Amino acid sequence: MNRKMKKNKIFIYIACSTLLLSTGCKKFLEHQPDDRTELNNPVKVAELLANAYPHGNYIPFAEAMSDNAGDKGTTSKLLPNASPWNYVDQIDATSEDTPPYYWNACYKAIAAANYALETIDKAGNTAEYSASKGEALVARAYAHFMLVTLFAKAYDPATAAYDPGIPYVTLPQKVVEGDYTRGTVASVYDNIEKDLLAGLPLIKDQSYRVPKYHFTTQAAHAFATRFYLFKRAYQKVIDHANDAFPGATIVDNLRQWNTTYNVLGYYELQALYTNSTEPANLLLQESKSNWGSSYASYNYGLSSAVRATVFNPGNNPTGKALAMTTKIFGGTETVYNIPKFREHEVKETISATIGDAYIMVPLFTSEEVLFNRAEANAMLGNNTQAITDLDAYLSKRIVGYSVTADKFTVTKATNFFPNVSASDALVATVINFKRQEYMHEGLRWLDVVRLKIPITHVSANGQSTISLGANDPRRLVQIPQDAIAAGLAANPR
Amino acid sequence: MRRVALLLCAIFWAILARADARQANGKPERLDNYLKKIEQAYKVSFVYDAAEINKTMVLDVPTKLTSITESLDQLKQKNISYRLVGNQVILKIVEVPRNNSKKEITIKGTVRDKKDGAILPGVSIREKGTANAVSTNARGEYQITVKDNAVLSFASIGYKTVDISVAGKTLINISLEEDANELKDVNIVSTGYQNLNKKLFTGAATALKGSDVKQDGITDVSRMLEGRVAGVSVQNVSGTFGAAPKIRVRGATSITGENKPLWVVDGVILEDVVNISNEQLSSGDVSTLIGSSVAGINADDIESFNILKDAAATAQYGARAMNGVVVITTKKGRIGKPLISYTGNFSTYLKPTYDSYNIMNSSDQMSVYSELARKGWLNHSDASRAADGGVFTKMYQLINTYDATSGAFGLANTPEARNTFLSRYATANTDWFDVLFKNSLMQEHGISVSSGTDKSQLYISTSYLNDNGWAVGNDVERYTANVNAVFNLSDKLTVNFITTGSIRNQKAPGTLGRVSNPVEGKYSRDFDINPFSYALNTSRTLTAFDQNGNRENFARNFADFNILNELENNSLDLSMLDFKLQGGLNYKITKHLKYDFLASMRYVKSGNEHKVRENSNMANAYRAGYSPDDSYIQDNNRFLFRDPEHPEAQPIVVLPYGGFYNTTDDFLKSYMVRNSLEYDNTFNEKHLVNIYAFQEMRMADRQTRSMIGYGYQYDKGGVPFIDPNIVRQATLSNLSYYSMNHRYDRFAAFMTRAAYSYDGKYSFNATGRYDGSNQLGSSATARWLPTWNISGAWNIDKENFFENSSINKILNRATIRATYGLTASLGSATNSALVLRNASALRPYTNETESVMNIEYIENSDLTWEKQYETNIGVDLGFFKDKLNLTVDLYNRNGFDLISPLRTSGIGGQYLTTANYADMNTKGIEVTISGPIIKTSEWNWRSNFNFGYNKNKVTKLSSPQSIFNLVTADGGPQEGFPYRGLYSVEFTGLNHDTGVPEFINEKGVKSGDVYMQSLDTKYLKYEGPTDPKLTGGFYNTVSYKGFTFSSLFTFSAGNKIRLNPAFSTFYSDLDAMPNEFKDRWTLPGDELKTNIPSIPYLETAADFSGTYPYNTYNYSTVRVADGGFIRLKQLSLSYAIPAKILKSIGANNASISAVANNFWLIYSDKKLKGQDPEFFASGGVALPIPKQYTLSLKVGF
């Protein structure tokens, strides 16, 4: 009996100490296993948002799909950008420069924005977080916009409510695989607009340490011009462009191709083009990509034929060569290139031979704002305003620019683009300049899908051609196979 | 399972058959059979005390039963009386009146250990045939009163039982001899938590005595387990001191985890200083040198190993137990006068020779170079400017050198002059093994003192090891100390303290981390100067010394290089301090209830200094291209700096003076506290009950810090000269010049275990454990995990029917064990909550970078531990009075919730994530046959044969694997295949026109171009697992008088090995080539005769651009060998010096032994051509296990 009581007592002691310990345990076990950071203050939220931008590169596949890429016929071997040039779906999501890699990079950026927004919400949406909230919303809108542009049909008011979009993600995922549907292009556009408009006024440029790598108010307006151009809301394009560059301030923010650039050496131009000190760069982002070291030598790229079509003086409405033409380096077709990208090699050890290659991609430039405003004005029939912008552009592109002789006119446009209205001729002029401007930058593809520009890819020996009609289903990049496996509807093929 | 059942049936059948045969014979009859007959004839039943009446006794009985009384009267001949009650017959022994002529006497004496004369307390002394027994006190003394004709039986666990006739003596002093039979030692099973009576233990475990497995000359105790325990595989992937072997208990349990067994020393889990996975062990990186957690343990201090294998054995470790547990118990002090032991080992290693490798001699090599030159390689313009070059580079550079004063070139550019120059090297035939290896001496001295009284016992040991290095640039010294003290403060309270410490200083060739390059399909390591790799891979045309005997340089990284110079000037100095304090308290609350407290603290500090002196090639490479100026080198030397602020300027030197002083430090602080209660009781002598419960908390803090010291000037009094540009160069590449990080391990566990044994026949065990850890991240739900286990054992030999049957003359011991339970381990994932890490933005200019926060892993709220259900069925059999023991274990393990990379839709923000979704099944069998085959006073032969066979299959997995992942030496996982399978690119033959190898590529097309990063792996050929399926050992020891001869054979089979990569598109004049190059393709048509690819023309190779057919060839079906081998691991002969000689020197015992370790690789696949089937030639600090001869001297005073 005595022993039993004693035993009972002991068990009570154990039970009690266990209880005591278990509360102590909670704290004991709450220790983080390593030096990971916790997302618990405005500074850290802001730092997380540096990752709310896609750090993958769309240029390699977008450029190859567009008519900026010709077959140089250098070799019969498979080359990295052969698949997009031939409109063959790329499925490897682990290699950079592919659509699935870019898809993942966009959603990774969206996740960063969502984790930031969740933290801001939990902290009660206080004022100290408001600039970050603005950045997160706009960045989230941008990543979704790029996804819907590449992986879904271009916005068409008639069909957008039925065209499948891409999943619009607004909450952080906390399980291994979430449950997502594509929605429609219209619903995605609605969400983008909502985020963009909610975020834009909150942005505070002064809150950024390196503003060129974040959505400044200016960059956000630039994004808005692109968005509304796609949405065909032309007045809004003009409004946002004017907000980005009030008055005529845009002229001084264009790349000084016909002056400063014109005297730069190869490496100097390469260094300046994607430098944050260049005022034309409104938003830059680092991106893991082999594009920097390889774009010159890719088999599908700036071939002699493309060079002639795009850059020959006779092939644009001014009749003069733009300044970029003089900076096509390489000497032979196999390596023709304008030095726009400098590879940034990130190494893991002090003397490693190989590292991860990065390039800085200009996501928005002053030129685009100018082009978008010009196009919108032309679409709305404000031809004079459109021409003002085109003149501003040409003043920085024609070497030895003459305000009088080189003044652009509707006639110059209609002469070059006969049989269309004055407005359409101006739009065509904008698109023509844009094609030259964004050689090697992939943005040509955005115009190709938006304006349904037909494309023909002809093999070097001329024996096979691939034609991409206005409504060819291959204009939509295929949804990554892993996303299809997880239940998303594939694009038709 | 079925096989075991069949085996049991066979045993029963044999028993029954024998019993039947007896009955027909009549006359002499066993009592139980006779009683059974009566029972059947008269429908009665017998009641008797089996302890009193031996039912196996034989008595004469009439052939026919006439009446019940007459039949029962026969029992009287054995003094058995009977009483009939109803239909029950009660039997009793009739008390025989004591023979008064036998008087009682009192005997006194002392019991000692025969080996060292130490006093033995707790020895039981029994008067044979009676219940009269006493045991020795703490001073080893006893006193017993017995009849003067009695026989005394002295017994103690771990010692041979001795019977002595009293014959009127009143003083009997006796020495007991240790029982060498390993199985008998296991009457107590140490689980690390408890020392359990074997009757209560139901798991699969193997106990080894430290002295039995100690291999003189082998410094790492983990290597001693090789070939000793069925189911434990030890792969010596590197033999460098401090590098752990790849140890697996019952194979792998995790796809991504470490798969290392848990080491437990004196009840405390031994934490690793750095976390190194089994794959990393073979990488050759510096961290592997501190990879062995037991490298600081002096083998002489080890009393025993217990290897816990199945879920029942490891149940107490719950969620840490999935990979098995190795429990080490160290020596404690013995009661008696101080006993001093000295052990000295003197070892020498054999240099490797070219005989065992397949490498071209210099003249063959030179002829290959000539072909290279003919084919456009090694041409004047390229070779003279080569970053790395041998004799051709040297020749062209001499031709280019014009001496203005003498007006002559370094070498005339004539065919004659060139031939003369080259002929010296063609005949050089440099023996790099001779240059870089030496027959070194390793010495190891250990002294221990053991002493004690009944109140306190003390064991102190210290050891010193010095290995002056087999390979140039390697040496080690280690000091260890160990103090183990036990104080019995009262009958109830005992405290003990263990303090161990070790210090290690080691030198190794300087090395950088290994980098994988999946683009080309190879691993690379910059500035590798591993002597073994260098000897294997460097052309024998190169010479270490020129004609004048001075060191001769060749070009490397555009700078001068001589391996001996580099080994002197580029070195790693590793120092390690490992200190452990441990204290325990044991309080007997009641006779049956015990409280135990254990606390331990361990502190490890390891420092690693990589000293790159200014004369080294690694430092000079940073200056190559300037002085003399050479704009070609300036443009091509990747160690120069192209300033982004001046993009058009020539790259500049950033290390104008000095070298590097790079340091890496690792710290570990770990604490552990445990409270436990143990209730142990026996009821009615039949019911053994043991209940054990504990609560424990552990924490381990690890810190790693590293620093790159730029421009340290070793020659100039150690002053750093730092060019700010070198820091800029690094920071612009986002490389930090210093770093520091931590890992925090917090662990709590609660466990209860109940064991019950009935009459020694049936045992049951149930364990439940609840673990908590912080390793999964800060989510409160993922953190806890319950695990459980149930098990049972049936000792058939204790059953009446068995004891009575005559089969026990053959089979004297039989136990069946079975268990089922859940074990777990922590996986590699830590993202039960969002994992964020800060970093610098990866941007090119300093004004553009900022601190950013990267998402490493998004939250996985379902994250949990890796788990496994294990079923184990085991049989332990003893034949011929335990002369032969057989243990067989069969197991089936179903691993689930295993962590593996998983591809997702990417929409959540993480394309490749880690999740608990993979499953794996493992089946295996383990067999041990052992025993003292011959045991006489002069001859003794013990033998142990064991093997484990283990087959594992990943049953669920969808993680993407690239071709490169699957074809390299470590292999990779795929669903439906082993957890690490080796795959090959299918070789289809050599191209008819060029002799370039062709394969089935990732698209199923015959081609020279295989995209190694492709995730399309369906055209790869599965070769086999990289881990052996079968491993085992055969150990024999024969002793005659003072001589003992022992041998250990180890074997392994069932795995495939990737041959060392020997082929590449281009060979430089530095490369050593294997002899098979002699059979290479040279002319179209050769492809029908040979699989050895051609040396391509320069133009042919130019067409390869972007493809790597020769690298792919290294990973093709023709470059695979079978991994099976048989090795004579150890041979030893020792002689115990006879007592009379010992007396003259005042010693108690002394022995001298000669040991050969790693003696002979008896069998391995011929395709390996000298490549060690265990060793991964990965460069860095990895060295193979050498052949080693040791002379060992042991003296005890």
Give the model confidence (pLDDT) of B829-845 as tens digits: 888 889 999 888 988 88
Q: Could you report the per-residue pLDDT of B866-925, keeping only the tens digit for each?
A: 999 999 999 999 998 888 999 999 999 999 999 988 888 999 999 988 889 899 999 999
B524 part of contact set with chain A, CB < 8 Å: yes
- Comparing B144 with A138, the larger pLDDT belongs to A138
The mean per-residue pLDDT over the stretch B813-835 comes to 89
Task: Say what the pLDDT of residue B102 is.
Answer: 56
Given pLDDT bands bounded at 50, 70 and 90, which one contains residue B946?
Answer: very high
Which range (B45-54, B177-186, B579-588, B632-641) has the least confidence?
Answer: B177-186
CA distance A457 to A65: 9
Asked whether residue A77 carries a pLDDT value surpassing 60, the answer given is: no
Beta strands B88-93 and B1043-1053: pairing type? Answer: unpaired
Given pLDDT bands bounded at 50, 70 and 90, which one contains residue B1105?
Answer: low
Asked whether residue A447 carries a pLDDT value surpassing 60, the answer given is: yes
Q: Could you report the per-residue pLDDT of B663-677, keeping only the tens digit for each?
A: 999 999 999 999 999
Name the DSSP class of A89: P
Which range (A105-114, A248-257, B142-151, B489-498) has the least confidence?
Answer: B142-151
Task: Say what the pLDDT of residue B522 is.
Answer: 63
Task: Say what the pLDDT of residue A243 is.
Answer: 95
Q: Is the peptide bond before B1025 cis (omega within 30 degrees of 0)?
A: no
Given pLDDT bands bounded at 50, 70 and 90, which one contains residue B7?
Answer: very low
Q: Which two tokens stand for residue B439?
A: 């027959």
B1108 near B1012, Cβ under 8 Å?
A: yes
Q: Could you report the per-residue pLDDT of B1161-1187, keeping only the tens digit for each?
A: 899 888 888 778 887 766 777 888 888
B673 part of contact set with chain A, CB < 8 Å: no
Number of Cβ within a 10 Å radius of residue A213? 25
Asked whether residue B24 carries a pLDDT value surpassing 60, the answer given is: no
Task: Say what the pLDDT of residue A1 is.
Answer: 42
Q: Cβ A360–B854 below 8 Å, yes or no?
A: no
Given pLDDT bands bounded at 50, 70 and 90, which one contains residue B13?
Answer: very low
How far A222 CA lies from chain B's nearest CA (Å)? 21
Q: Which residues of B touch A176 (CB under 8 A)?
A: 860, 862, 902, 904, 908, 913, 915, 917
CA distance B41 to B194: 52
Give the nearest chain A residue to B641 (CA atoms).
A351
Task: Say what the pLDDT of residue A16 is.
Answer: 52
Given pLDDT bands bounded at 50, 70 and 90, which one contains residue B9?
Answer: very low
Which range (A18-22, A230-234, A373-377, B407-411) has the least confidence?
Answer: A18-22
Given pLDDT bands bounded at 50, 70 and 90, which one contains residue B285?
Answer: confident
Q: Could you report the per-residue pLDDT of B740-751, keeping only the tens digit for each?
A: 999 999 999 999
B504 near B576, Cβ under 8 Å?
A: yes
Number of Cβ within a 10 Å radius of residue B672? 20
Task: Say what the pLDDT of residue A444 is.
Answer: 96
B512 near A349, Cβ under 8 Å?
A: yes
Asked whether residue B440 carries a pLDDT value surpassing 60, the answer given is: yes
The mean per-residue pLDDT over the stretch B454-472 comes to 91
CA distance B722 to B1068: 35
Across the interface, of B741, B858, B903, the residue whose CB is closest to A172 is B858
B175 near B112, Cβ under 8 Å?
A: yes
A303 near A72, Cβ under 8 Å?
A: yes
Q: Which residues of A touch B862 (CB under 8 A)?
A: 175-176
The mean per-residue pLDDT over the stretch B172-181 comes to 74
How far B858 CA lies from chain A's nearest CA (Å)? 7
Q: Cβ A29–B862 below 8 Å, yes or no?
A: no
Q: Mean pLDDT for chain B?
A: 85
Asked whether residue B1 carries a pLDDT value surpassing 50, the answer given is: no
pTM: 0.82
Put simply, the chain A residues between 151 and 210 with a CB less than 8 A from any chain B CB are 167, 169, 172-178, 180, 209-210
Asked whether residue A5 carries a pLDDT value surpassing 70, the answer given is: no
Which range (A118-122, B565-569, B959-963, B1100-1104) has the least confidence?
Answer: B1100-1104
Separation in Å, CA B63 to CA B25, B46, B74? 8, 20, 12
Q: What angle do CA A285, A287, A290 make, to 5 degrees?
A: 140
Q: Which residues of B touch A32 (CB under 8 A)?
A: 744, 774, 777-778
Given pLDDT bands bounded at 50, 70 and 90, which one contains residue B1111?
Answer: confident
Q: Could you report the per-residue pLDDT of A149-162, keeping only the tens digit for each?
A: 999 999 999 999 99
Task: Say what the pLDDT of residue A13 is.
Answer: 57
CA distance B582 to B799: 44
| Percent of chain B clearing pLDDT 70 (strictly above) | 94
Asked whether residue B860 carries a pLDDT value surpassing 60, the answer given is: yes
**Chain Cα centroid distance, residue B616:** 36
The mean per-residue pLDDT over the stretch B208-231 comes to 86
Q: Could you report the per-residue pLDDT of B105-114, keeping only the tens digit for each?
A: 888 888 888 7
Task: Say what the pLDDT of residue B593 is.
Answer: 92
How far B638 CA lies from chain A's nearest CA (Å)? 8
CA distance A42 to A61: 37
Asked whether residue B182 carries a pLDDT value surpassing 60, the answer given is: no
Task: Say what the pLDDT of residue B23 is.
Answer: 42
Strands (E), B114-214: 124-127, 133-135, 141-147, 151-155, 162-165, 174-176, 188-190, 195-197, 205-209
Q: Cβ A100–B910 below 8 Å, yes or no?
A: no
Q: Which residues of A touch B910 (CB under 8 A)?
A: 108, 111
B358 part of contact set with chain A, CB < 8 Å: no
Asked whether residue B657 carries a pLDDT value surpassing 60, the answer given is: yes
CA distance B260 to B274: 13
Number of Cβ within a 10 Å radius of residue B154? 24
Q: Which two tokens stand for residue B771?
A: 């673990």
Q: Cβ A94–B960 below 8 Å, yes or no?
A: yes
Given pLDDT bands bounded at 50, 70 and 90, which one contains residue A18?
Answer: low
Strands (E), B370-513: 402-403, 408-409, 441-452, 456-467, 475-488, 493-509
A418 Cβ contact partners less than 8 Å away, ≥ 6 residues apart: none
Put simply, the chain B residues between 198 and 227 with a CB less than 8 A from any chain A CB are none
Q: Which two tokens stand for residue A460?
A: 């070097």
Q: Cβ B909–A111 below 8 Å, yes or no?
A: yes
Put simply, the chain A residues between 382 and 441 with a CB less than 8 A from any chain B CB are none
Q: Could you report the per-residue pLDDT of B729-771, keeping only the tens digit for each?
A: 888 887 888 999 999 999 999 999 999 998 888 999 999 999 9
Q: Which residues of B touch A356 (CB under 8 A)?
A: 842
Q: Which residues of B touch A275 (CB under 8 A)?
A: 845
B252 Cβ contact partners less than 8 Å away, ≥ 6 residues apart: B259, B278, B920, B922, B952, B979, B980, B1027
Q: Cβ B905–A355 below 8 Å, yes or no?
A: no
Given pLDDT bands bounded at 50, 70 and 90, which one contains residue B186?
Answer: very low
Given pLDDT bands bounded at 50, 70 and 90, which one contains residue A353?
Answer: low
DSSP-based three-state secondary structure for B922: strand
The mean per-residue pLDDT over the stretch B527-541 comes to 86
Across the interface, of B746, B904, B908, the residue whose CB is closest to A29 is B746
The mean per-residue pLDDT over the stretch A124-140 comes to 95
Task: Say what the pLDDT of residue B183 is.
Answer: 39
Task: Say what the pLDDT of residue B284 is.
Answer: 75
How far B184 CA lies from chain A's nearest CA (Å)? 35
